């Protein structure tokens, strides 16, 4: 997901997904941003720019692909009800052996994170809602055959665990020539490059995936960086104030330089 040229304006949304992929089989494809807009009191939860219920007509039996993207600085817990669904990708990377989780499973989107969710449109209604730190909100898209369904009230369900989801690939023996310990506390890690991770405090039994954003959530995670794009990369916290207060780290490769500095910044 593209970034704005500055961190702090992100409070009003880092909208604008750029998705490059092969031609898709005929299906309904919808990209949905979740966001908290600044309000006079509490923040205002929304799907895209809509902070009220919305409706969309989809014919029964149609395959549906939802690209769910969190454009805020905080994690968003999403409820999705009315049909079984499958998470086919995390941050655009396909999940090996993906299968429907238990009905009513919630999705926790990290800041800047993305889940691709697929389902077959039923004859009834499918609804989504957002649960963010108990902030009252009425944002709720509803999909139904005639587009007239009122979003159902959805309760909290078990939380989707990507570390245990899908099928683990064959064990890959990789020789690492260096190891570093980086303490990120409870912030949201973001690396402008690609890496995968496994947990060193719990066993990761599911599919691996490549990602450029992750929610640390007080877990001891071990990241493996894949050196496919040598350059000067920036890791930063997805809490915008933290980034503005210098919670930033640069990863530079020997022999790689840049003509840009604080006096010559491209926009």
Q: Is the pLDDT of residue 193 over 50?
A: no
The mean pLDDT of the chain is: 78
Check residues 21 and 92 and name the one with the higher pLDDT.
92
* Whole-number pLDDT of residue 250: 76
Q: Is the pLDDT of residue 99 over 60?
A: yes
8-162 CATH: 2.60.40.420
Q: Take residue 146 and report the two structure tokens written for it.
A: 């005639």
Nearest-CA neighbor of 222 among 244, 200, 250? Answer: 200
Strand intervals (E) in 7-156: 28-37, 44-47, 53-57, 63-70, 76-81, 86-90, 93-94, 107-109, 114-120, 126-131, 140-144
pLDDT tens digits, one per residue of 237-250 = 766 676 677 777 77
Check residues 205 and 128 and name the one with the higher pLDDT.
128
Q: Percentage of residues in the chain with pLDDT exceeding 70?
A: 66
Decide if 89 contacts 117 (C-beta within 8 A).
no
Q: What would you report as the CA-atom Rg of the chain, rounded to the nearest whole angstrom? A: 20
Check residues 111 and 229 and name the one with the higher pLDDT.
111
Per-domain boundaries in the chain: 8-162
Residues 6+ apart with CB under 8 A from 118: 27, 63, 64, 65, 66, 85, 86, 88
pTM: 0.78
Ramachandran region, residue 112 (left: φ > 0; alpha: ψ -120 to 50; beta: rest)? left
Decide if 129 contacts 45 (C-beta within 8 A).
no
Check residues 18 and 121 and name the one with the higher pLDDT.
121
Q: Percentage of residues in the chain with pLDDT exceeding 90?
A: 34
Q: Is the pLDDT of residue 161 over 60?
A: yes
- The 8-class DSSP code of residue 237 comes to -
pLDDT tens digits, one per residue of 130-157 = 987 667 788 999 999 999 999 888 989 9
* Whole-number pLDDT of residue 231: 78
């Amino acid at each position: 997901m593209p970034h704005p040229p500055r961190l702090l304006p992100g409070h009003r949304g880092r909208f604008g997904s750029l998705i490059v992929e092969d031609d898709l089989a005929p299906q309904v494809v919808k990209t949905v941003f979740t966001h908290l807009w600044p309000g006079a009191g509490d923040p205002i939860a929304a799907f895209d720019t809509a902070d009220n219920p919305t409706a969309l007509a989809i014919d029964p039996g149609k395959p549906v692909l939802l690209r769910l993207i969190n454009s805020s600085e905080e994690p968003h817990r999403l409820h999705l009800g009315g049909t079984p669904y499958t998470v086919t990708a995390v941050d655009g990377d396909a999940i090996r052996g993906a299968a429907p989780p238990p009905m009513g499973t919630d999705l926790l989107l990290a800041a800047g994170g993305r889940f691709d969710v697929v389902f077959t449109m039923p004859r009834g209604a499918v609804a989504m809602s957002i649960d963010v730190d108990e902030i009252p909100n009425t944002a709720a898209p509803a999909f139904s055959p005639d587009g007239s369904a009122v979003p159902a009230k959805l309760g909290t369900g078990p939380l989707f665990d990507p570390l245990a989801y899908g099928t683990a690939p064959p064990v890959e023996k990789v020789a690492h020539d260096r190891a570093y310990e980086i303490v990120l506390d409870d912030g949201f890690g973001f690396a402008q490059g690609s890496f995968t991770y496994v947990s060193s405090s719990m066993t990761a039994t599911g599919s691996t995936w490549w990602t450029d954003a992750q929610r640390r959530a007080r877990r001891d995670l071990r990241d493996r960086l894949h050196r496919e794009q040598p350059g000067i990369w920036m890791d930063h916290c997805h809490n915008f104030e933290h980034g503005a207060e210098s919670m930033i780290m640069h990863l530079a490769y020997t022999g790689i330089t840049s003509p840009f500095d604080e006096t010559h910044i491209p926009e």
